[in-house]
Amino acid sequence: MKRKRIFRRAAVLLMTTAMFASGSIAGAAEEPQQTEESFAEAEENSAEELHQTEEEDREVRLKDAVSKELGCYVGAAVTGQEINNRRVWEIITTHFNAVTLGNELKPDALFNYSNAVCPGTEEAELNGETITVPKINFYKAENMLDKILQWNKKNPEDALKVRGHVLVWHSQTPEWLFHEDYDKQKPYVDKETMNKRLEWYIRTVLTHFTGGDSEYKDLFYGWDVVNEAVSDSTGTYRTDSENPNEPLSNDTHGNNSSWWHVYQSNEFILNAFVYANKYAPADLELYYNDYNECSGQKTAGILELLRAVKATDGARIDAMGMQGHYNMDSPNYSEIDMAIRMYAQVVGNVQMTELDMKASEDYDGSPESKEKEFEAQAKRYGAIYWALKSADKEEGVNVTALTFWGTADHLSWLQSRSDVGGGNTTGLPECPLLFDEHYEKKPAFYAFVGNED
């Protein structure tokens, strides 16, 4: 088969640069397994074969190609609005075998986006005690899951699985959840009280969607238990503000976690994995998920967290979720390669959970710059995919999901991102995904369907 030539030269280079001095993964953790030259070669090979592949593979489905290579879930994030877009749904049901709900299973959505005030309380039983809890509303997620269930019933061979996202996160979680009487004007609760709320919340969500009586119980393959609990800058946990008089959200180092503020330790993270393990069915995988996951200091912090969870009695963690919100020039390939192997060393399974690509600085959305950007992007996606595949071939490293954060470029969160501060959008055009604004496959799509070796 012609396509088998792809990346063969790079694979030879890979073998010559492999650094298994002791034959164990431990050696791999200190040094990348691949050189930047071998990735450059992978990029070039990807470009060489791209056009030929585009012609040959008009009908190839992404999920078939990637499953053949990695044997893993091939997913895309989809929001409540997007799932009713006929073109998006067509892409999802054709090319993917899994989805992540973009927002609808996050705490703020389950509390009905009632962020300013608690949407009402009721009594619940927890470990023999009656506690007061806020009302949860599942309908936004259920609307989406019902559509998926219906599809699965009619199309069992193309059934979709769902990744639960996310139980514990400093963001998209109403502030009142951390305060006395669920009133954000009142003081923060103590950690004993918060622990009860944490256990109740995890039990309620997991039981509702994955419990024996739930109609959704066979839909989920795993759940992000904790998201983004590591600081970008300190090499350890995301904490609370250094200045107690400042609102947490103003902390310039991103140390803005109300979870940390209540616990003053990583205990909420460890407990979350204990409670998730307690209430999840044994076959529901449990994950930690984070961004900037390939940058040195942050990788160190994440590894510390993963080890702490692994060492906790009653906790279970099945994979590390590397979000994969990347730029065209960062992280570099050796950093990605090394991060995959280091995480695998602690938890075995690694997943790419929110992959997308910010455009180059000189990209302006014009037809000329689009052509150039699309080609360059396809090369980069090709090399990242190659990194995943080559890591997956090593003993002790399993890549178990590859998920993109969206489907078509114009719907991506990056189009309205507010990462320049002050809530302003950058206004820059972006083209981060595998399908363009006309829902057509981009060169980046072919970086994943043509790369058999």
Q: Which residues bind ligand GLA (CB under 6 A)?
A: 165, 227, 291, 323, 354, 405, 413
Least gap, CB of 434 to ligand GLA (angstroms): 17
Least gap, CB of 227 to ligand GLA (angstroms): 5
**Closest CB to ligand GLA among residues 108, 175:** 108
Phi, psi of 130, deg, nearest 5: -95, 125
Least gap, CB of 334 to ligand GLA (angstroms): 23
Q: How far is CA 137 from the centre of its chain?
A: 24
Give the residue at shortest CB distance from ligand GLA: 413
**Closest CB to ligand GLA among residues 344, 355:** 355
Least gap, CB of 362 to ligand GLA (angstroms): 24
Measured CA to CA, the distance from residue 78 to residue 274 in angstroms comes to: 29
Residue pair 391/343 in contact (Cβ under 8 Å)? The answer is: no
**Closest CB to ligand GLA among residues 273, 413:** 413
**Beta-carbon neighbour count of residue 342 at 10 Å?**
21
Measured CA to CA, the distance from residue 337 to residue 437 in angstroms comes to: 31
Query: How far, in Å, are 77, 142, 156, 159 from residue 150 at the CA level?
Result: 19, 12, 10, 10
Least gap, CB of 289 to ligand GLA (angstroms): 6
C-alpha atoms less than 13 angstroms from C-alpha of 99 in its C-beta half-sphere:
32
Least gap, CB of 356 to ligand GLA (angstroms): 8
Least gap, CB of 415 to ligand GLA (angstroms): 11
**Closest CB to ligand GLA among residues 366, 418:** 418
Looking at residue 244, its amino acid is P
**Closest CB to ligand GLA among residues 240, 293:** 293
Least gap, CB of 353 to ligand GLA (angstroms): 8
Q: Which of 351, 352, 356 lies closest to 408 in space, CA to CA?
A: 356
Residue pair 270/315 in contact (Cβ under 8 Å)? The answer is: yes
Measured CA to CA, the distance from residue 224 to residue 202 in angstroms comes to: 11
**Closest CB to ligand GLA among residues 95, 165:** 165
Residue pair 238/254 in contact (Cβ under 8 Å)? The answer is: yes
Least gap, CB of 160 to ligand GLA (angstroms): 18
Check whether the bond before 187 is cis (ω within 30° of 0).
no
**Closest CB to ligand GLA among residues 386, 413:** 413
**Closest CB to ligand GLA among residues 155, 171:** 171
**Beta-carbon neighbour count of residue 393 at 10 Å?**
12
Instruction: Give the position of tokens 């269930």.
Output: 149
**Closest CB to ligand GLA among residues 49, 354:** 354
Q: Which of 100, 167, 95, 68 lies closest to 354 in space, CA to CA?
A: 100
Instruction: Collapse the DSSP code of 99 into the 3-class scheme (helix H, G, I; strand E, B; otherwise coil) and give the result.
Output: strand
The token duo for 308 is 């702490």
Looking at residue 315, its amino acid is A
